[in-house]
Amino acid sequence: MLPLHGLTVVTLEHAIAAPFASRQLADLGARVIKIERPGVGDFARGYDQRVRGMASHFVWTNRSKESLTLDVKHPRAHALLKRLVLEQADVLIQNLAPGAAARLGLGWEALSAEKPGLIVCDISGYGEDGPYRDKKAYDLLIQSEAGFVSVTGTPDEPSKAGPSIADISAGMYAYSSILAALLNKQRTGRGQHIDISMLESLTEWMSYPLYYAFDGASPPPRTGASHATIYPYGPFPTGGGGTVMLGLQNEREWAAFCDKVLLQPGLATDARFAGNAARTARRAELRALIIEAFAPLSAAQVLERLEAAQIANAQVNTMAEVWAHPQLQARQRWREVASPVGPLPALLPPGSWPEEPQMSAVPALGQHTDAILAELGVAAAEIAALRAEGAV
Number of H helices, E strands in the chain: 17, 11
Q: Using CA atoms, how far apart are residues 341 and 53, in angstroms rounded to an integer? A: 8
Out of 27, 90, 139, 167, the active site residue is: 167
Residue 306 has a CB neighbour count (10 Å cut-off) of: 21
CA distance 78 to 98: 19
For 322-345, what is the mean pLDDT? 96
Work out the average pLDDT over 264-277.
95
Residues linked to residue 243 through DSSP beta bridges, in sequence order: 237
* Cβ atoms of 67 and 368 closer than 8 Å: yes
- So what's the pLDDT on residue 153? 94
Q: Is 355 a residue whose pLDDT tops 90?
A: no
For 205: left if phi > 0, alpha if psi spans -120 to 50, otherwise beta; the answer is: alpha
Question: Hey, is 171 helix, strand or coil?
Answer: helix
Residues 6+ apart with CB under 8 A from 284: none
**Ramachandran class of 197: left when φ > 0, alpha when ψ lies in -120 to 50, beta otherwise:** beta
d(CA 273, CA 283): 9
Report the CATH superfamily, name and number, of domain 8-206+327-388: Crotonobetainyl-coa:carnitine coa-transferase; domain 1 (3.40.50.10540)
Q: Output the CATH code of domain 233-316.
A: 3.30.1540.10
* pLDDT confidence tier of residue 36, bands split at 50, 70 and 90: very high
Q: Is residue 352 very low, low, confident or very high in pLDDT (cuts 50, 70, 90)? A: confident
Q: Please, which residues bridge with residue 207 across strands?
A: none
Boundaries of every domain in the chain? 8-206+327-388, 233-316
Active site residue 167: yes
Q: What is the pLDDT of residues 180-239, one digit of tens each?
A: 999 999 999 999 999 999 999 999 999 889 999 999 999 999 989 999 889 999 999 999
Q: Half-sphere exposure of residue 177, counting CA atoms within 13 Å on the CB side?
A: 24
Q: Whole-model pTM?
A: 0.92
Q: Quick one: pLDDT at residue 353?
A: 79
Beta strand pairing status for 31-36 and 192-197?
unpaired
Q: Give residue 314's pLDDT.
A: 94
Q: What is the DSSP string of 40-60?
A: T--GGGGS--TBTTB-HHHHH
SS3 assignment, position 128? coil
Question: Could you give the CA distance from residue 384 to residue 390 in angstroms, rounded to a whole number?
Answer: 10
d(CA 359, CA 18): 18
Q: SS3 for 220?
A: coil
Average pLDDT, the chain: 95
The whole-number pLDDT of residue 236 equals 96
Q: Mean pLDDT across the stretch 87-113? A: 94
CA distance 388 to 382: 10
Question: Can you give the pLDDT at residue 172?
Answer: 98
> Among 23, 26, 35, 34, which residue's Cα sits nearest to residue 7?
26
Strand ordering across the sheet containing 8-12: 65-69, 31-36, 8-12, 91-94, 119-124, 192-197
Reported residue count of the chain is: 392
- Report the C-alpha gap between 345 and 180 in whole angstroms: 31
- Determine the residue type at 225: A
User: Is pLDDT of 46 > 90?
Assistant: yes
Alpha-carbon distance of 93 to 97, in angstroms, equals 13
Contacts for 162 with CB less than 8 Å, ≥ 6 apart: none
Q: Is there a shared CATH topology between the 8-206+327-388 domain and the 233-316 domain?
A: no
What three-state secondary structure class fits 131? coil
The three-state secondary structure class of 96 is: coil
Q: How confident is the model at residue 93 (pLDDT cuts 50, 70, 90)?
A: very high
- Evaluate if residue 354 carries a pLDDT over 90: no
Half-sphere exposure of residue 144: CA atoms within 13 angstroms, side-chain side: 7
pLDDT grade, residue 1 (50/70/90)? Answer: confident
Burial of 153 (0-12, 13-18, 19+ CB in 10 A): middle
Closest to 370 in 3D by CA, of 340, 339, 390, 392: 392
Region 259-283 average pLDDT: 95
Region 338-362: mean pLDDT is 93
DSSP 260: I
Mean pLDDT of 45-54: 96
